[in-house]
Amino acid sequence: MPSPRPLRDRVHDVVHDLVERARAVTDHPLLTHLARAGLVAYGAMHLLIGYLAVRVAWHLRGADADQTGALQTVAGGPGGSVLLWAIGLGMLALALWQAGEVLLWWRGLLDGARRLRTAVVCAKCLAKAFVYALLGVTAVLFAVGAGYEADERLRDLTDDALAIPGGSGLVALVAAGVVAVGLYTLVRGFTGGFMRDIDLPTAPDRWEPLIEAIGRVGYVAKGIAFALVGVLLGRAAASADVSTATGLDGAMTAIAQVTAGPWLLTAVAAGFAAFGIYALARARYPDRDPSS
């Protein structure tokens, strides 16, 4: 009679079976199509942010040049509620689809030689999924009439944090993290690392240089904007003045106020529009794996 298998092996087999079943769900064609719709919505939001940023640059009236401003613009248009639901559900499907990539890499966490690299890859997947989910939830909130102003919410959170002991240090740490995200985005733009999110074997060779060029412009513009958000948040931590704590729209406004600001912000707006076009290309040729 064969001896029973070790408990560790049996647990591993059970976990492996559960992961494979979950992976099958995240690989389902229906979820993939919904995720691609989410990428289309993601791209369209960046095109809208670019448009709104141009209006900020030239002192024209309009919504804030950020994600909530883009959603407000959608809400105010024909069929706004339906479109917001479509955006929200598409973004949530995209988040689930992106998070599903972790299920392919989890076994690397059990291997000491590959654990660090696997953890980095999983962290990237989960970070992207979190951003998509946050945008999806925000779109659903707007669809049910419970939208909010991102800049005001950020100032409220900063004010609450500064009121507690050690709060300025916490805000400074968050600011450093936002700057780091901005710098990472810049690096991806300069190195072309974002092309790992494009399924290159399925993309026509003639389109790859154009997708890469557009993506570089988009990532550099986003990197500059997010790094500036972190800098402004850091100023709030140093001065305990929450008025300087601002999100993307505040960063856009700060760019517009410097010398040659309207032209600089127009360039950044063009970069956000370029990122939107890149996101549409990714919707056509999507790849979840940031390490491929």
User: Each residue of 213-257: pLDDT tens digit?
Assistant: 999 999 999 999 989 888 888 887 787 777 766 778 888 888 888
Q: 1-10, 20-29, 116-125, 145-154: which has the minimum mean pLDDT?
A: 1-10
Higher pLDDT, 44 or 155: 44
pLDDT category of residue 1 using cuts at 50, 70 and 90: very low
* Residue written as token pair 């993307």: 248
Contacts of 81 (CB under 8 A, 6+ apart): 75, 143
> Is residue 171 classed exposed, middle or buried when 0-12, 13-18 and 19+ CB atoms within 10 A define those classes?
buried
Structure tokens at 157: 């959170």
Q: Are 13 and 110 in contact (CB under 8 A)?
A: no
> From residue 102, how far is each of 24, 55, 97, 131, 152 by CA, in Å?
13, 40, 10, 16, 34
The yes-or-no verdict on residue 77 having pLDDT over 70 is yes
Predicted TM-score (pTM) of this structure: 0.86
